[in-house]
């Protein structure tokens, strides 16, 4: 039943990648980026350094990526093994992958038939998951399952990527090593690093549009807009 197993594993792989994309999106990633990162983690390819920082820097995303990588490795091994066995004439002759095929094709032709079935099924799956209506429908169903089972804790205000160029909104905590600790907003000169502080959360109280003379304190949570890599480097960096 090599061909049948290949089809099942391939179908499950498509679903897992889509669930991974949904999980990444719920942590704040843009949908297109979430799909790319899910596929990258599952396949182990195309995982660029700059975009990987958005994943490895977040505990939830690291967990999601780890699960996708483990499942991806297992799935890849299974797909390769079942694919190879599907094309072996002796295996096809003894164990017909799809029961009805032996009634129409001789054993020596079955590997080529299996190959054609695999190619056709891959094409069908690809078209289904890229067809807008079906893709939206299956994504909606999977999203409800993920949320209902609380697989991922959804965020609404953390590193929400905006358009292109690495700009977005980030919520970051001032710690003892922060270069801006005990400095006022004016003294920190964040604007010169293309960073705008939208609000400060202090003792569960939100201070929107903080004044220039407001001093940053330990455990302050800053909601900033700007280039994400600059926000991380400037606010979390120790004084030099």
Instruction: Quote the tokens at residue 145.
Output: 């399952």
Return the number of other C-beta atoms located less than 10 Å from residue 162's C-beta. 12
- What is the model's pLDDT at position 213? 93
Decide if pLDDT at 159 tops 60. no
Q: pLDDT over 90 for what percent of the chain?
A: 10
- What is the model's pLDDT at position 162? 46
Decide if pLDDT at 79 tops 50. yes
Decide if pLDDT at 184 tops 90. yes
CA distances from 166 to 14, 40, 50, 190, 196 (A): 28, 19, 9, 17, 15
17 and 115 co-located in one domain? yes
Average pLDDT over residues 197-203: 90
CA–CA separation, 41 vs 214, rounded Å? 42
Cβ–Cβ under 8 Å, residues 84 and 6: no
Nearest to 198 by CA among 173, 222, 215, 181: 222
Decide if pLDDT at 94 tops 70. no
In a domain, 153, yes or no: no
- What is the model's pLDDT at position 205? 84
CA–CA separation, 24 vs 80, rounded Å? 27
Last residue of one domain, picked from the residues 148, 174, 202: 148
123 and 198 co-located in one domain? no
- What is the model's pLDDT at position 74? 84
In a domain, 122, yes or no: yes
In a domain, 64, yes or no: yes
Cβ–Cβ under 8 Å, residues 142 and 134: no
CA–CA separation, 58 vs 19, rounded Å? 18
Q: Which residues contact 130 (CB under 8 A, 6 or more apart)?
A: none
In a domain, 155, yes or no: no
pLDDT tens string 45-64: 755 556 666 676 677 888 88
Last residue of one domain, picked from the residues 97, 126, 148: 148
In a domain, 136, yes or no: yes
Residue 213, CA atoms < 13 Å, CB-side half-sphere: 0
Last residue of one domain, picked from the residues 120, 148, 176: 148
DSSP label of 238:
P
Nearest to 168 by CA among 178, 177, 158: 158
What's the whole-number average pLDDT of the chain?
A: 76
In a domain, 23, yes or no: yes
What CATH number does the domain containing 194 carry? 3.30.70.1450
In a domain, 119, yes or no: yes
DSSP sequence for 181-228: TT-BHHHHTGGGGTEEEEEEEETTEEEES--TTPBP-TT-EEEEEEEH
76 and 174 co-located in one domain? no
Beta bridge partners of 206: 201
* Residue 240 pLDDT grade (very low, low, confident, very high; cuts 50, 70, 90): very low
40 and 139 co-located in one domain? yes
DSSP label of 102:
G
pLDDT tens string 131-145: 767 778 888 888 888
What is the residue range of 119's domain? 2-148
Q: Report the predicted TM-score, pTM, of the whole model to 2 decimal places.
A: 0.54
Q: Please tell me the total count of domains within the chain.
A: 2
35 and 129 co-located in one domain? yes
In a domain, 154, yes or no: no
pLDDT tens string 98-132: 455 555 555 666 677 777 877 888 788 777 777 76
Q: pLDDT over 70 for what percent of the chain?
A: 74
- What is the model's pLDDT at position 157? 43
- What is the model's pLDDT at position 50? 62
- What is the model's pLDDT at position 106? 59
Cβ–Cβ under 8 Å, residues 38 and 146: no
Decide if pLDDT at 186 tops 80. yes
């Amino acid at each position: 039943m090599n061909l049948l197993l290949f089809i099942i594993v391939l179908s499950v792989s498509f679903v897992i990648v889509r669930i991974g994309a949904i999980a990444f999106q719920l942590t704040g990633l843009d949908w297109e980026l979430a799909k790319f990162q899910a596929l990258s983690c599952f396949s182990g390819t195309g995982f660029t350094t700059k975009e990987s920082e958005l994943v490895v820097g977040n505990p939830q995303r690291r967990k999601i990526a780890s699960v996708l990588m483990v499942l991806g490795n297992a799935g890849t091994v299974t797909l390769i093994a079942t694919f190879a066995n599907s094309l072996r004439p002796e295996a096809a002759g003894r164990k017909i992958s799809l029961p009805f095929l032996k009634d129409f094709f001789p054993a020596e032709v079955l590997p080529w038939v299996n190959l054609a079935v695999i190619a056709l099924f891959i094409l069908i799956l690809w078209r289904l998951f890229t067809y807008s209506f079906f893709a939206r429908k299956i994504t909606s169903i999977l999203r409800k399952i993920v949320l209902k089972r609380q697989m991922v804790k959804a965020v609404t205000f953390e590193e929400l990527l905006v358009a292109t160029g690495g700009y977005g909104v980030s919520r970051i905590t001032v710690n003892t090593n922060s270069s801006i600790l005990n400095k006022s907003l004016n003294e920190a000169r964040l604007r010169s690093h293309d960073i705008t502080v939208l609000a400060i959360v202090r003792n569960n109280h939100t201070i929107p549009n903080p004044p220039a003379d407001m001093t940053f304190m330990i455990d302050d949570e800053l909601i900033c807009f700007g280039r994400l890599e600059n926000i991380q480097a400037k606010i979390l960096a120790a004084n030099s």
